[in-house]
Amino acid sequence: MSGIPNALAGKIAVVTGASRGIGKGIALELGAAGATVYVTGRSATPGRLPGTVHETAAAVDAAGGVGVPFVCDHRDDDAVRRLFQTIRDEHGRLDVLVNNVYNSPAAARWLGKPFWEVPPDAWDETFDIGVRSHYVASVFAAPLLIESGGLIVNISSPGSQRYMHNAVYGVAKTALDRLTADMAHNLAETEVTVVSLWPGIVDTELLQLVPADAQGQRLVTLPGEGTFDLGQAETPRFPGRAVAALAADPGRRSRTGTAWRVADLAEAYGFTDVDGRIPRAD
């Protein structure tokens, strides 16, 4: 099951990096709950992977919300500042910020590599997009969110607690979860909730490139981590339902400053993935 229709009617949300993947799934579920969703990303035209901010915004409309495409490179602080100034000018409020932007195709080059085979510029790329951009968006969004008593969701990973992918990935996710905890500390005297969200393995457009084998299974092997059946993976809508449930929960402050697995929130809030399952791949 999904959330309650119109539970977020009148609410304004931003989902960064929402052209495709987890960000798109979150934008669609916020739209399905009635929110106006600003969809950010660099993809104004299709690239190697399908999806643009304009296509996601149209899909938010079709889901029942209002989608607003905003082409934005999250390495450009001025562009991010303009995004939140636009929201203040057009709506005077912001209720939800989802920091999701991440360069997954670039990161895939270094899967399973020992640290001495991962070049220093991979560190910069991972932290610029996967940590710094989340901080910058939160800085510019905070005044609006403090006024509304809103929600910040940082899309993170169990890689902050155990080895996943490579050393740079793990350090970046640990930094992101620390950012969640410290932002929650700074916001303790406000009504703003800040959480990290841990999806499992999500069948994004990038993983959909994995072909089926002779038995019809789509298997992906992560070096040093195992082989996973993508038929059992989460859809991008599953973490989206977690965000929508948090946004609609008047008691969400009890969760602030902490990382939450999507599957655990599904059990707590009573939602499932689109096929009725609660996937647990981690």
The catalytic residues are 169
Tell me what pLDDT residue 3 has: 67
CA separation for the pair 28, 68 (Å, rounded): 12
pLDDT tens per residue, range 153-174? 999 999 999 999 999 999 999 9
Domains and CATH numbers, the chain: 12-203+236-269 (3.40.50.720)
Other CB atoms within 10 A of residue 217 CB: 13
Distances (CA, A) of 107 to 92, 113, 131, 169: 36, 11, 14, 8
pLDDT tens per residue, range 218-264? 887 877 788 888 888 899 999 999 999 999 999 999 999 999 999 99
Beta bridge partners of 229: 219
pTM assigned to the model:
0.94
Tell me what pLDDT residue 112 has: 84
pLDDT tens per residue, range 33-44? 999 999 999 987
Which of 12-16, 86-90, 108-112, 131-135 has the least mean pLDDT?
108-112
- Alpha-helix residue ranges (DSSP H) falling in the chain: 21-32, 53-63, 77-91, 104-107, 120-127, 133-148, 167-186, 237-248, 262-269
The radius of gyration of the chain from alpha carbons, rounded to an integer in Å, stands at: 18
pLDDT tens per residue, range 83-110? 999 999 999 999 999 999 988 777 778 8
Instruction: Determine the average pLDDT of the residues in 113-137.
Output: 94
Q: Are 247 and 151 in contact (CB under 8 A)?
A: yes
Tell me what pLDDT residue 205 has: 80
Mean pLDDT of the chain: 93
